[in-house]
């Protein structure tokens, strides 16, 4: 068994917590467009991270050779990220983030999203094969950080609304 698999299973549990927090906040928060968009973002990124954690674990159980395992996992995860980004519901997340705090939104999409996708692209194209597990792990961890940033943004947005 691949040593990264235990890490990914643990990270998937953490991602599940983000999904749960997002769902819990949805039930207990005012239902305005911005808040709902951000909550969908938390749940989406958490779910994406959870699935991303389990892709190599699943493929690894089929005995796929190590280099191919990371290339396929990266390709599937990259495709899922872009499916989520291009989904019509994602527009609400983008609008909510940019309305709430332009600088934080730019940080989120430039400083975090590019470092998530670049390692996946390097793995997909087979560049630096000995680093493919590290590339994939980087993308997963940064995706989890992204979910955390969304959670912090919704907490600050809710606090800001309650203070006004």
Task: Give the pLDDT mean for 111-139.
Answer: 94
Q: Please, what is the angle between helix 132-163 and helix 4-28, to 10°?
A: 20
Q: Which of 21-30, 55-64, 89-98 has the highest mean pLDDT?
A: 55-64
Rounded CA separation 40/44 (Å): 6
pLDDT tens digits for 96-109? 777 777 887 787 77
pLDDT for the residue 3: 67
What separation in angstroms does the CA of 31 have from each of 34, 36, 124, 144, 156?
8, 6, 40, 25, 16
pLDDT at 159 over 70: no
Mean pLDDT, the chain, whole residue set? 82
Residues 17, 45 contacting (CB under 8 angstroms): no
- Supply the pLDDT for residue 36: 72
The pLDDT tens digits of the residues spanning 32-69 come to 666 777 777 778 888 898 899 899 989 988 989 889 99
21 pLDDT higher than 70: no
């Amino acid at each position: 068994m691949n040593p990264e698999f235990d890490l990914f299973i643990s990270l998937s549990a953490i991602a599940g917590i983000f999904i749960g927090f997002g769902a819990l906040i949805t039930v207990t928060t005012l239902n305005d467009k911005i808040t709902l968009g951000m909550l969908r973002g938390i749940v989406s990124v958490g779910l994406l991270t959870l699935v991303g954690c389990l892709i190599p674990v699943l493929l690894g159980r089929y005995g796929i050779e190590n280099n191919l395992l990371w290339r396929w996992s990266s390709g599937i995860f990259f495709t899922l990220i872009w499916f989520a980004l291009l989904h019509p519901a994602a527009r609400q997340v983008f609008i909510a983030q940019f309305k709430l705090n332009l600088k934080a939104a730019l940080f989120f999409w430039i400083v975090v999203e590019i470092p998530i996708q670049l390692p996946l692209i390097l793995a997909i194209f087979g560049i630096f094969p000995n680093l493919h597990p590290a590339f994939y792990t980087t993308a997963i961890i940064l995706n989890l950080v992204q979910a955390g940033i969304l959670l912090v943004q919704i907490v600050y947005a809710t606090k800001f609304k309650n203070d006004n």
